[in-house]
């Protein structure tokens, strides 16, 4: 009988050269490059090409890729019309999964995926990746206006990926510092080895399903509060605490009741999440840039982290990437229920990189189970029951 490990904890499900985590030392790298170096020196577009192609692009390659993203930002009016008929009070992640799945109906050419063999059409893979990457951010930004009864703001060709998203989302010229923070946030969330949503990507990709269905499945996995929904819960937790004077009592009560403290701890890291360290640095830069004139949530978050580190640090529980990202998004004018959709925008890059890697050496996933039911027994006719 096979050994049963709940949640497949620690069970290798695939081989990959896309990203690596050293949880004991708090290290994360994309294609061998430390996340700290990428956050400090790269852009989301450049990091995207790194994850997809395996190497840092040359200037001309990056310029061409940026232009391809710009050329594919617009959505068909039929897609906008469908969005206008979705329930405005529905969760944005449900909207995103629905609309991304529907894009496959406008892009039905999946001939290279038919036949059960690996797909070697790199042009199809690249062009499909560009379409999904370019449009997923437009979908999220447009929904913010559509669900409030307004026409969406169209994209601008002169803005970067992060800048254009903020412009389409808010309808305002993006603040340069906040745009840079958004760019870094997208880099930090782009990839993180084989998590729940990436595993959903692999399973669906292994069946040679449409890439739009593959990404829709990953979005569904990401939507859960135990995965991508945590940053929304962090902001709600901070709002519930309300003031720095109430932090210790709140945390101690949660710990005594064995309740979740959102944004704290990570299954992979035994020390502080390196992405949280980077985001904390951005928070400090932002506070300094604004002369301390910022949302009180920033100071509240710092106190919560200090108290949690005092109570939980000895157990290897520290702040994760979700702890600070939601506060930063709120400062950009993004409502809490849209936080996870931004996570999805970024993680789409990692999903597509794994989709491409799976296709290159594909074998359909078919795990087994440990049966715990009754032994075989005869059928009992209705009149004898």
Query: Residues for the chain: how many in total?
Result: 385
Pairing of β 33-34 and β 27-30: antiparallel
Residue 319 β-bridge partners: 264
Q: Considering 192, 266, 273, 354, which one is annotated as catalytic?
A: 266
Nearest C-alpha neighbor of 168 from the set 213, 136, 209, 216: 136
Nearest C-alpha neighbor of 362 from the set 173, 171, 119: 119
Angle, vertex CA 266, rays to CA 265 and CA 271, nearest 5: 75
Q: What SS3 state is found at 33? A: strand
**For residues 102 and 136, is the Cβ–Cβ distance under 8 A?**
no
Sign of the dihedral defined by the CA atoms of residues 371, 375, 381, 385, in that order? negative
Q: Considering 192, 273, 322, 354, which one is annotated as catalytic?
A: 322
Clarify whether 126 is annotated catalytic. no
What does the alpha-carbon distance between residue 229 and residue 325 come to, in Å, rounded to a whole number? 12
What does the alpha-carbon distance between residue 118 and residue 211 come to, in Å, rounded to a whole number? 14
Residues taking part in catalysis: 266, 322
């Amino acid at each position: 009988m096979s050994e049963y490990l709940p949640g497949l904890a620690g069970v290798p499900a695939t081989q990959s050269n896309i990203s690596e985590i050293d949880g004991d030392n708090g290290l994360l790298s994309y294609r061998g490059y430390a996340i700290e170096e990428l956050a400090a020196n790269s852009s989301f577009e450049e990091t995207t090409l790194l994850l997809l192609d395996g190497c840092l692009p040359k200037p001309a390659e990056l310029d061409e890729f940026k232009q391809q993203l710009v050329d594919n930002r617009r959505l068909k009016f039929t897609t906008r019309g469908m969005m206008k008929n979705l329930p405005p009070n529905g969760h944005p992640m449900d909207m995103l999964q629905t609309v991304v799945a529907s894009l496959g109906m406008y892009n039905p050419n999946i001939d290279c995926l038919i036949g059960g063999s690996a797909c070697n059409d790199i042009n199809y893979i690249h062009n499909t990746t560009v379409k999904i990457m370019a449009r997923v951010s437009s979908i999220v930004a447009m929904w913010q206006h559509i669900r409030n009864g307004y026409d969406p703001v169209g994209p601008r060709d002169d803005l970067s990926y992060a800048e254009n998203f903020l412009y389409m989302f808010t309808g305002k010229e993006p603040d340069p510092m906040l745009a840079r923070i958004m760019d870094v946030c997208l880099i930090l969330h782009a990839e993180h080895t084989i998590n729940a949503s990436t595993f959903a990507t692999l399973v669906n990709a292994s069946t040679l399903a449409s890439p739009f269905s593959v990404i829709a499945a990953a979005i569904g996995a990401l939507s859960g509060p135990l995965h991508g929904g945590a940053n929304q819960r962090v902001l709600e937790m901070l709002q519930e605490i309300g003031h720095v004077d109430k932090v210790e009592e709140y945390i101690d009560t949660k710990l005594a009741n064995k309740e979740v403290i959102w944004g704290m701890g990570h299954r992979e890291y035994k020390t502080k999440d390196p992405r949280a360290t980077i985001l904390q640095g951005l928070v400090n830069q932002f506070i300094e840039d604004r002369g301390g004139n910022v949302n009180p949530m920033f100071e509240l978050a710092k106190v919560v982290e200090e108290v949690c580190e005092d109570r939980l640090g000895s157990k290897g529980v520290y702040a994760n990437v979700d702890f600070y990202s939601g506060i930063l998004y709120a400062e950009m004018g993004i409502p809490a229920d849209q936080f996870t959709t931004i996570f999805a925008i970024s993680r789409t890059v990692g999903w597509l990189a794994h989709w491409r890697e799976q296709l290159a050496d594909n074998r359909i996933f078919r795990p087994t189970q440990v049966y715990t039911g009754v032994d075989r027994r005869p059928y009992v006719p209705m009149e004898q029951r």
